[in-house]
Amino acid sequence: MWIWTDVDGILSADPRVVSGTRILAEVTYNEAKVLHPRTLAPLVEKQISVWIKNSFRPEDPGTRIVSRIADGHGVRAITSLGKVALISIEAVSTSMSGAQLMARVLESAAREHVEVLLLTRSSFRKNFCMLVRAEDVDSVMESLRTELALELAHGYVHPIDVDHSVGLLAAVGEGMKGTPGLAGKVFTALSEKKVNIIAIAQGSSEITIAIVVTQDALDEAVRALHSECGLGEA
């Protein structure tokens, strides 16, 4: 499949934020799903290769999306997303099951067809947070207040907190798996720019390290990681 668009391919970061980005010649399905999940979903099962090319410059090579690539070491790209909100929920009662509470919250989001962009839970206290798009906040909050009406009314759950002043960035790369020191490298790069990390999540696949920061620090964080991971033009 060829996807004709107005960009030269998949870039190492948003060129409006980072100068000196480079086009990725190839990415895997797993990496690209982070970048374009809804577009690729019907193609992955059939292993259909995809070319993303610029319709204004058809002679340029663009980006090819395939099942695997030979050179896939470390971070391949830094993605970012604004216009999101962090919803935090915490149980007051120690008798409440944290797992059951989380399940009910996720079911509430699913009923509203809301995509949860990030989910992270404290290993000590019975609290967790999830990141959703800003446009989905009203519907998911209405669903949560209905689902947890009894617990909220009797003080078994703290009032639900919504933080609109955040942004999401992620280091993406199938080759990140098993790479020692990568998380420390990411944290150091953000610390040097005095960017506060609000929440972090990394799945067992290790394809992404997703980080929530304040919205006003999002662009600076993207530039810091892009530079630290050596993703600029060669």
Residue 212: per-residue pLDDT: 97
pLDDT of residue 97: 82
In total, how many domains does the chain have? 2
In sequence order, the β-bridge partners of residue 130 are 87, 119
Which CATH number belongs to the domain containing residue 106 in this structure?
A: 3.30.2130.10
Q: Do 158 and 216 form a contact (C-beta atoms < 8 A)?
A: no
Q: Are residues 32 and 137 in the same domain?
A: no
3-state secondary structure of 142: helix
Q: Which domain holds residue 37?
A: 2-66
Q: Do 114 and 193 belong together in one domain?
A: yes
What pLDDT, on a 0 to 100 scale, did the predictor assign at position 37? 63
Shared-domain flag, residues 19 and 125: no
Residue 206, pLDDT score: 75
- Report the chain (234 residues): mean pLDDT per 10 consecutive residues: 89 92 89 70 82 92 86 82 95 82 94 94 79 97 96 93 96 80 88 94 82 97 94 74
Handedness of CA 147, 131, 87, 127 (dihedral sign): positive
Q: Give the DSSP letter of residue 70.
A: S
Whether 217 and 132 map to the same domain: the answer is yes
